[in-house]
Each structure stands twice: as structure tokens, then as C-alpha cells.
Amino acid sequence: MITKKYTHLFFDLDNTLWDFSSNSYEAFYDTLKRLNLLSVIGPYEDFFTIYSEENERLWDLYRKRQVTKKVLRVERFEAAFIRNGTPLAIGGDEVNDIYLEEMVNQTQLVEGARELLEHLYGRYKIAVITNGFTEVQYDKIHKSKLTKYFDKVITSEEIGTPKPGKKIFEYAAKSINAPKKSTLMIGDSWEADILGARDFGIDQIFFNPKMDKLDFEGLFLSISKPILSNIFQGSPLILVPDSENNYKKKVQTSLISRLDQLFAIL
């Protein structure tokens, strides 16, 4: 069990606190409805799956700085419609503008997020570190009534470096005077949140509600022969190095599937 005393917390926003998956589903439906495109695309569930895959593909390229924000905003929609066999008659930028309008109206949180933040409020310095677009992230936080919980909200656009880049973690630490030894990162992206924070030199907790990643670079679960239906029940599970050569950073990586597991250590 984790026994370290933390004073500062970094949280990812989308799909860690704010339920991006559910909110995107609703926002995209409302977008297509406003544009009179629901009758064009076929079954919405199938089309949303296509869009989600294209969106994630382009976000991955954006995190790697292989595409610009402008390309990401437009191509995720145009590529989805082309792949669906129903090319857009309008520009992807028009779809994007309406989609972002609808996104900020969605306020569904990840289960347990508000209860956790209420528990943490006033007891820790808390910063949000997000790769999301600046023009919507602040509105999402405000409309979801989360503003009071955070001492600082940091977007990758403002800093010029997306997670997992070290620069954004350095900026976050300086902005709330967070010592590395007592700072913890919580996020749902292994590459952006966990590897980014690990490389920066702070402890991390990987929020993995779907249990869809159990193969960790140079690490393994600290219990033998885990049973997937039972391992995510109590305190966060510590991942330990399989050898010193594979894990040179003196930081700790842990695993949870529910936010309420954080009550055991925070």
C-alpha cells in the first residue's frame, strides 16, 4: 500500500474527472442533428465509433507534434465521413465549431469525481494538466462547477508543449510550487500522463477503469497471478520494476480502476 505523504496533486481532465467519452457521444449527436446529418450517416453508434477512432488517431499525431491543431480540428471529422462512405458536403471546420459549442454544454463527470474533489479540496494544492483545446477546457470546467477545486489549470496550448513533454510538467510544478518528492499525477493516459510524469520524476497513478492495459513497460503488478474481477477493489496497486535496469527513476507507479480507491491514500 502507498504510504507516502503527498502535498500537491496533478490531475488530467478528460476521462479522468470530466467524462469525455459520454460527453463527446452526446455532443457529437447534437452536432449532427443541428447540421441535419443524422439521416446521412447510417446508425449513429457505428458512425460514432468511426469518428472516435479517427479522433484518437489524430490526437496521437498531435501529441507527437506530427499534425497541427488546425489539421486535427478539421481532419478528424472529414476523415470520419470519408471512411463512412459519406463525404462531407461542408467543411470539417464548420462541424468542429458546432461540436465544440455542444461539448462545453455537457457536464457529465467520471463516477466519483466530484466526491473525490470535495474530499481533496483545501487539503492539497491541485492543478489540472490537459492537452485539450484552451478555448473549451476552461468552459468545461466552469460549466461543470469544478473551478473552485483547482489552484491552477494548465493547457498544453498555453505552454506550447503537450503531455508527455517534460516542459508542461515543469511549468505545472513551478506554478503551484510543487516539490517533486511530494507530488502525484493522476490520469487515464499511459503515454501522456503516466510516462510523462514518470519521465519528469514524480509519482503517478494510472486510472484504468476498463482494465484494457495490463502490459506495463518494465513494470509488473505487485501481486501474483491477479484475478481481473478482484484486483481493483481496495487501495491502489503498486507496479514494481521487473529489474533496476528497466526502471531508473526513483518514482512510484500505481494502478486504480475507480476514483474512490484514492480515498485510501489521500
**Is residue 228 pLDDT above 70, yes or no?**
no
Q: Which residues contact 101 (CB under 8 A, 6 or more apart)?
A: none
Number of structural domains the chain divides into:
2
- Supply the range of the domain harboring residue 256: 8-19+109-264
Nearest alpha-carbon partner for 89 in 156, 25, 37:
37
Please check whether residue 41 is in contact with residue 47, taking contact to mean a CB–CB distance below 8 angstroms: yes
Q: Is this prediction's pTM over 0.75?
A: yes
**Is residue 50 pLDDT above 60, yes or no?**
yes
Asked if residue 66 and residue 128 are part of one domain, the reply reads: no
Q: What is the dihedral of CA 213, 216, 219, 222, to 10 degrees?
A: 10
Q: What is the mean pLDDT of the chain?
A: 91
User: Which of 12, 14, 193, 203 is the catalytic position?
Assistant: 12
**Is residue 53 pLDDT above 50, yes or no?**
yes
The residue out of 66, 84, 103 marking a domain boundary is 103
Please check whether residue 172 is in contact with residue 10, taking contact to mean a CB–CB distance below 8 angstroms: yes
Handedness of CA 61, 63, 66, 72 (dihedral sign): positive
Q: What is the mean pLDDT of residues 84-94?
A: 97
Query: Which string of DSSP letters, residue by residue, matches 92-131?
Result: HHHHHHHHHHHHTT--PBPTTHHHHHHHHTTTSEEEEEE-
Asked if residue 137 and residue 187 are part of one domain, the reply reads: yes
Please state which of the ranges 7-11, 85-89, 162-166, 241-245 shows the lowest mean pLDDT. Answer: 241-245
Strands 237-241 and 219-221 turn out to be antiparallel
pLDDT in tens, 168-212: 999 999 999 999 999 999 999 999 999 999 999 999 999 999 877
Looking at residue 230, its pLDDT comes to 52
**Is residue 232 pLDDT above 90, yes or no?**
no
What are the helix and strand counts (H, E) for the chain? 10, 8
pLDDT category, 241, cuts 50, 70, 90?
Answer: confident
**Is residue 149 pLDDT above 90, yes or no?**
yes
Asked if residue 229 and residue 115 are part of one domain, the reply reads: yes
Handedness of CA 256, 257, 259, 260 (dihedral sign): negative
Q: What is the mean pLDDT of residues 216-232?
A: 59
Please check whether residue 16 is in contact with residue 107, taking contact to mean a CB–CB distance below 8 angstroms: no
Domain assignment of residue 219, yes or no: yes
**Is residue 227 pLDDT above 60, yes or no?**
no
Nearest alpha-carbon partner for 192 in 209, 207, 212, 182:
207
Q: How is residue 8 written as a grid cell?
A: 500537491
Looking at residue 216, its pLDDT comes to 75
Looking at residue 217, its pLDDT comes to 72
**Is residue 12 flagged as an active site residue?**
yes
The residue out of 82, 103, 124 marking a domain boundary is 103
Please check whether residue 124 is in contact with residue 138, taking contact to mean a CB–CB distance below 8 angstroms: no
Greater model confidence, 225 or 200: 200
Q: What is the mean pLDDT of residues 136-147?
A: 97
Report d(CA 100, CA 73) in Å as an integer: 10
Domain assignment of residue 94, yes or no: yes
Q: What is the mean pLDDT of residues 48-72?
A: 94
| Angle, vertex CA 188, rays to CA 98 and CA 156, nearest 5 | 55
**Is residue 87 pLDDT above 50, yes or no?**
yes
In CATH, what number is assigned to the domain containing residue 244? 3.40.50.1000
The residue out of 70, 103, 136 marking a domain boundary is 103
pLDDT category, 235, cuts 50, 70, 90?
Answer: confident
